[in-house]
Amino acid sequence: MNQIVDTIFNSINDLVASAIKGIPAVLAAIVILFLTKFVADFVCQLVDKVGEKTIKSRSLQLLLAKTTHVLVWVAGILFAAVVAFPGLRLGDIIATLGLSSVAIGFAFQDIFKNFLAGILLLAQEPFRINDQIIVGDYEGTVEAISVRTTQIRTYQGERVLLPNSTVFTSAVQVRTAFNYRRTDLGVGVDYNTSLPKAKGILLRTIYELEGILENPEPEVDLVSFGDSSIDLVVRYWTAPSQAVVRRIQSKTIIAIKAAFDAEDINIPYPIRTVYHYDQHDYNDYLPDKSNNSKEYANHS
């Protein structure tokens, strides 16, 4: 019994002695972690300043700074672990990470896919921050491109987070990719209207509106003979922003209506002709009266 008690006490003493010996290493590891925080912040600021001078995309600058920040922390934690546990070798840690990376890759394949797609979007820059885009059923202004999602703000003031992989593999319509954008506005005139006169009025009205660009020049095309009108399309160019396009379109509609009213040009309503007749005289299921009369004459 005494031997068992002595063995327990000896084991406890060994553990306490090992803990005491390990205190300096643990303290050193804690100091390393504190230093890692300051080093990570300093390196992040340094990379951010260098990125501002060498990289045009703000999103790519932020991505580079965040990636550097994470890498510094990973290196600091690994170094602290090696110092705190002297028996733990850096090669063993790397080998363990290498073996576990396969399982992690399967578990987080969607995250990695979005991460890589985000890097490609930031590097290729098919669109930029504040561009107005359409992706699938979503349309709005790009607010941010992170390592996982592309964040857009819809025109209704809603935020939509789209996975980067979806954005990267989908057709993206960039409405603000160029300095100007065309609007096609349909209008109809009745068949009694002089078409050259109507076309001249439309062009004159468009040229007088503020916000419509003179180059490229506005155009008016005759497109079809409608059921109740001859259809024209007014094509003009404005700044690409959605707010500008909507505002100019409203002004254009008001101006065209006022110009046509001043010249007594009608924008016709849809016209339908309705014929009224006695349905009984045209019922396919009634016997033909002419045949009945002939049969009656023969019998007479």
Phi, psi (deg, nearest 5) at residue 172:
-115, 125
pLDDT above 50 (res 160): yes
Q: Residue 55: pLDDT above 80?
A: no
User: Would you state the structure tokens that stand for residue 82, as one six-digit string?
Assistant: 């090696």
96 plus 25 within the same structural domain: yes
Are residues 61 and 90 located together in one domain of the fold? yes
- Mark whether 184 and 276 lie in a shared domain: yes
Number of domains the chain is built from: 3
Asked whether residue 35 is domain-assigned, the answer is yes
How far is residue 218's CA from residue 206's CA, in Å, rounded to a whole number? 7
SS3 letters across the chain: CHHHHHHHHHHHHHHHHHHHHHHHHHHHHHHHHHHHHHHHHHHHHHHHHHHHHHCCCHHHHHHHHHHHHHHHHHHHHHHHHHHHCCCCCHHHHHHHHHHHHHHHHHHCHHHHHHHHHHHHHHHHCCCCCCCEEEECCEEEEEEEECCCEEEEEECCCCEEEEEHHHHHHCCEEECCCCCCEEEEEEEEECCCCCHHHHHHHHHHHHHHCCCCCCCCCCEEEEEEECCCCEEEEEEEEECCCHHHHHHHHHHHHHHHHHHHHHCCCCCCCCCCCCCCCCHHHHCCCCCCHHHHHHHHHHHC
Q: Quote the pLDDT of residue 297.
A: 47
Which of 137, 159, 174 is the last residue before a domain boundary?
174
298 and 184 in a common domain: yes
Kindly state whether residues 137 and 89 are assigned to the same domain: no
Does residue 120 belong to any structural domain of this protein? no
Co-location of 143 and 207 in the same domain: no
Tokens 């909507």 map to which residue? 246
Predicted confidence (pLDDT) per residue in 214-249, tens digit:
999 999 999 999 888 999 999 999 999 999 999 999
- Looking at the fold, whether 80 and 92 belong to one and the same domain comes out as yes
If pLDDT is split at 50, 70 and 90, which confidence band does 205 have?
very high
pLDDT digits (tens, 9 = 90+) for 165-201: 999 999 999 999 999 999 999 999 999 999 999 999 9
| Class of residue 241 by CB neighbours under 10 A (exposed 0-12, middle 13-18, buried 19+) | middle
Tokens standing for residue 206: 């468009």
| Domain identity same for 169 and 183 | no
Is 112 part of a structural domain of the chain?
no
162 and 52, same domain (yes or no): no
In a domain, residue 116? The reply is: no
Q: Is there a domain that residue 101 lies in?
A: yes
> Does a structural domain hold residue 115?
no
169 and 182, same domain (yes or no): no
Residues 231 and 287 in one domain: yes
Tell me the per-residue pLDDT of 237-280, one tens digit each, with 9 for 90 and over.
Answer: 999 999 999 999 999 999 999 999 999 998 888 777 677 766 66
Q: In this structure, what CATH number is given to the domain that contains residue 170?
A: 2.30.30.60
Looking up residue 207, the CATH number of its domain turns out to be 3.30.70.100
* Domain of 167, in residue numbers: 125-174
Dist CA 36 CA 131 (whole Å): 37
Residue 119 lies in a domain: no
Give domain status of residue 80, yes or no: yes
Is the same domain home to 236 and 289? yes
Longest dimension (CA), the chain: 145
CA distance 185 to 257: 13
Give the pLDDT mean for 16-31.
Answer: 68
